[in-house]
């Protein structure tokens, strides 16, 4: 599924550069797609909460992503590329909450963190295999081969999703629904998403982090390729393989650290990784620089892939709005990520690559300040899983669903 969802996305920058596009315009079309995804992620999460056909929220967007990649190969017109990016972003907006909800519905709150770690390890492993094969096929046969590889993985992914029995997914558990004394499921109003302080702090931290982080992987590949340090397809593939390889190990370690030390320290480390990465990226623009730069990316993203869905599920447990909450947090991420390519692209065009990497990396300091300053408000939600009994995990950290508001 990892390669199906990506399509030729990671290779889009070098593909468009080869067709005469400037970095500023490349960043602009990526931002257009990011804005579309940002606007639809929270509604997509709400639909996943309400739906009893969660598998369709993975199948349909996955097929749409592969088709969107194919259109880019047929035409490099600005509007064709922009619409393709919009389609891909909408698909990503649905798949994220759907995978989270499906997992929660299968294993419940008590098994969610551990299953998330396994899911993300396999997801990152899929990205490594997909990136390695894409890099080789792109170098050997050109970027159309990358599209056909994504389509082949898409077929396999659809078979895997359909092999999960629909009745194995508990729809009430999948949305974090509270139980009344009568045993009926209770759902909080959507107001809970904007009145929950820990959720808002998390969203703000992730917005600034992704504003600096999102564009760095593609722009570093472009920087290395522009310096003629490596074949463009190989450079982009290397940035992905190194990062995703580190993410496999990091996601499994994050799963265990969350159980023993909690989420706060995990996310602190992930925020610290970006400023260091920006300095390294600015200092070493070469094929060998890919390894330390993307190792740090793997640490930050690997931690967040496990910690963020797990933390949101704990914050909103008992509200029945877990996947809407996942979508809301993803919206904040997407807002930062959608602006990042345009910001990075124009900075690189006007100032050069080294200053651009320093500026992008420095944005994570805002995340660090917010995260440390509000540690007290986050403590209950972030504490170690092993420190809680199942009874204590039963209720959300924002109060009962009734107190949270039913508006």
pLDDT given at position 116? 83
| Residues in a beta bridge with 186 | 178
pLDDT given at position 391? 43
Please indicate whether residue 14 or residue 402 has the higher confidence score (pLDDT).
Answer: 14
Across 199-203, average pLDDT: 93
Q: What is the spatial distance between Cα 387 and Cα 277, in angstroms, rounded to a whole number?
A: 33
Q: Nearest Cα to 95, choosing from 69, 129, 72, 66? A: 66
**Residue span of the structural domain in which 148 resides:** 2-169+177-404
Across 216-226, average pLDDT: 75
Contact of 110 with 170, CB cutoff 8 Å: no
Q: Work out the end-to-end distance of the chain between its first and last CA atoms, rounded to an integer number of angstroms.
A: 37
Q: Nearest Cα to 214, choosing from 278, 152, 150, 166? A: 278
Secondary structure class of 180 (helix, strand, coil): coil
Q: What is the spatial distance between Cα 56 and Cα 37, in angstroms, rounded to a whole number?
A: 18
- pLDDT level of residue 231 (50, 70, 90 thresholds): low
127: pLDDT strictly greater than 70: yes
307: pLDDT strictly greater than 70: yes
Structure confidence by residue, pLDDT tens digits, 10-65: 667 767 877 788 777 887 887 787 788 778 888 888 888 888 888 888 888 777 77
181: pLDDT strictly greater than 60: no
What's the maximum distance between 2 C-alpha atoms anywhere in the chain? 68
229: pLDDT strictly greater than 70: no
283: pLDDT strictly greater than 90: no
Contact of 147 with 9, CB cutoff 8 Å: no
The share of the chain scoring above pLDDT 90, in percent, equals 12
Here the CATH number for the domain that contains residue 277 is 1.20.1250.20
* Number of domains observed in the structure of the chain: 1
Q: Choose the weakest-confidence range: 26-30, 129-133, 283-287, 393-397.
A: 393-397
Q: Which structure tokens are listed for 301? A: 């993203």
Across 251-264, average pLDDT: 88
pLDDT given at position 180? 44
């Amino acid at each position: 599924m990892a390669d199906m969802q990506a399509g030729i996305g990671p290779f889009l920058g070098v593909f468009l550069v080869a067709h005469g596009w400037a970095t500023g315009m490349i960043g602009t079309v990526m931002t257009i797609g990011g804005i579309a995804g940002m606007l639809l992620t929270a509604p997509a999460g709400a639909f996943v909460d309400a739906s009893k056909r969660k598998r369709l929220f993975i199948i349909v967007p996955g097929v749409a992503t592969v088709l969107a990649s194919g259109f880019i190969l047929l035409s490099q017109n600005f509007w064709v590329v922009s619409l393709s990016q919009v389609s891909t972003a909408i698909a990503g907006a649905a798949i994220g909450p759907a995978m989270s909800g499906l997992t929660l519905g299968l294993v419940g709150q008590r098994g969610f963190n551990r299953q998330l770690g396994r899911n993300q390890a396999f997801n990152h492993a899929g990205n490594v295999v997909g990136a390695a094969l894409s890099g080789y096929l792109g170098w050997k046969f050109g970027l159309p081969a990358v599209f056909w590889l994504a389509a082949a993985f898409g077929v396999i992914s659809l078979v895997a999703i359909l092999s999960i029995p629909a009745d194995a997914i508990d729809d009430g558990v999948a949305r974090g629904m509270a139980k009344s004394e009568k045993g009926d499921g209770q759902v909080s109003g959507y107001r809970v998403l904007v009145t929950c302080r820990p959720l808002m702090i998390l969203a703000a931290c992730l917005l600034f982090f992704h504003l600096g982080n999102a564009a760095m992987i593609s722009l570093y590949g472009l920087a290395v390729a522009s310096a003629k340090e490596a074949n463009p397809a190989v450079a982009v593939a290397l940035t992905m393989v190194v990062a995703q390889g580190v993410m496999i190990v990091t996601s499994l370690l994050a799963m265990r650290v969350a159980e023993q030390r909690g989420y706060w320290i995990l996310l602190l480390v992930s925020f610290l990784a970006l400023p260091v990465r920006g300095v390294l990226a600015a200092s070493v623009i070469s094929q060998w620089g890919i390894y330390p730069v993307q190792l740090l990316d793997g640490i930050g993203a690997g931690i967040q892939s496990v910690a963020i869905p797990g933390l949101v599920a704990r914050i909103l447990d008992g509200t029945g709005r877990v996947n809407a909450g996942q979508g809301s947090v993803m919206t904040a991420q997407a807002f930062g990520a959608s602006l990042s390519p345009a910001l990075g692209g124009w900075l690189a065009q006007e100032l050069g690559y080294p200053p651009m990497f320093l500026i992008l990396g420095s944005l994570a300091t805002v995340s660090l300040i917010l995260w440390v300053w509000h540690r007290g408000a986050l403590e209950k939600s972030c504490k170690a899983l092993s420190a809680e009994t199942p009874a204590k995990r039963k209720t959300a950290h924002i109060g009962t669903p009734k107190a949270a508001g039913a508006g």
